[in-house]
Amino acid sequence: MENTSIILSDLDGTLFRDDKSISDFTKETIRQAQAKGLLFGICTSRAKVNAVKFLEGIEPDILITNGGGIVYYQDKKIYDCEFTVEEIRKLIAAAFEVFGKDVIISADNEHALYSNSRDELGDKFWTYNDFSDFRETCMKMCIESLDKEKVEKVASVIGLDQIDYLPFSDIPWYKLSKKAATKEKAIEELCRHLNIESSQIAAFGDDFNDIGMLKLCGKGIAMENAIEEVKNAADQVCASNEKDGVAKWIKDNLFILK
């Protein structure tokens, strides 16, 4: 652990408590870590416009959002990967064809998170769009379904070898993004930009799309509340999100070295 210089944390189920808050203890621990020379970053599937709404009291050095579609370092964008307008329109059309006209979908980019639901789903801050004539590039599209076979039919209009598609464990949705718009790919680009090795990163997560990140980084830490697949992929398991697991692990494992 002596060479750890970056801490990356997922948000939902990881840095967030169940009510989407971040404790004062965690915020202070992050500030202390940064004061000791460690870089702190967020690595989340949330759209950038959504994620930043919850970070009051935290000033991340690194912001990886939209499932890995965008990477910011010190407020400067260093990487992005998105579906073209033509690609996202094909995916949207396929979703309606495969699932029917009443299917709920979302699509996000750097500026907005769109959905054809008129309801505010949780805390996701949708901008309503019926997708009848959608003409924006997007990092990610989500479909309210856990039917893998149907999701694959949608993804096939672009090419299964071109798309990363994974379910969420806590909500009945599938995420679709380009192969180069994953958390692990974003981290590789960050390492290239900073000229460091991924072994210098300690990463925290709890869900399917965190598995690649935890395997890639020098120390992959699963939350106690993580799904079993994440725990099996991790190097270590820390306390749950409700018990400030990220902050406690940082104090116990990194502060003694700084």
- The pLDDT tens digits for 34-48 are 999 999 999 999 999
Burial of 39 (C-beta count, 10 Å sphere; 0-12/13-18/19+):
buried
Nearest-angstrom CA–CA distance, 53 and 240:
23
Side chain identity, residue 99: F
The pLDDT score that the predictor gives to residue 2 is 62
pLDDT tens for residues 211-241? 999 999 999 999 999 999 999 999 999 999 9
Residues 6 or more apart whose CB falls under 8 angstroms from that of 167 comprise: 146, 148, 173, 174, 175, 208
Is there a contact between 64 and 43 (Cβ–Cβ < 8 Å)?
A: yes
Q: What is the pLDDT of residue 122?
A: 57
Residues 6+ apart with CB under 8 A from 181: 66, 67, 68, 69, 81, 82, 139, 140, 164
- In this prediction, residue 258 carries a pLDDT of 47
Strands 70-73 and 76-80: antiparallel
- Give the helix/strand (H/E) hosting 114: strand 113-115
φ and ψ at residue 120, rounded to 5 degrees = -80, 110
Question: Counting beta carbons within 10 angstroms of the beta carbon of residue 156, is it exposed (0 to 12), middle (13 to 18) or buried (19 or more)?
Answer: middle
Tell me the backbone φ, ψ of residue 228, rounded to 5 degrees.
Answer: -60, -35
The whole-number pLDDT of residue 58 equals: 97
Whether the model clears a pTM of 0.85, i.e. scores above it, the answer is: yes
Q: Is the pLDDT of residue 256 over 80?
A: no
Report the alpha-carbon distance of residue 242 to residue 21 in Å, rounded: 10
Average pLDDT for 15-21: 96
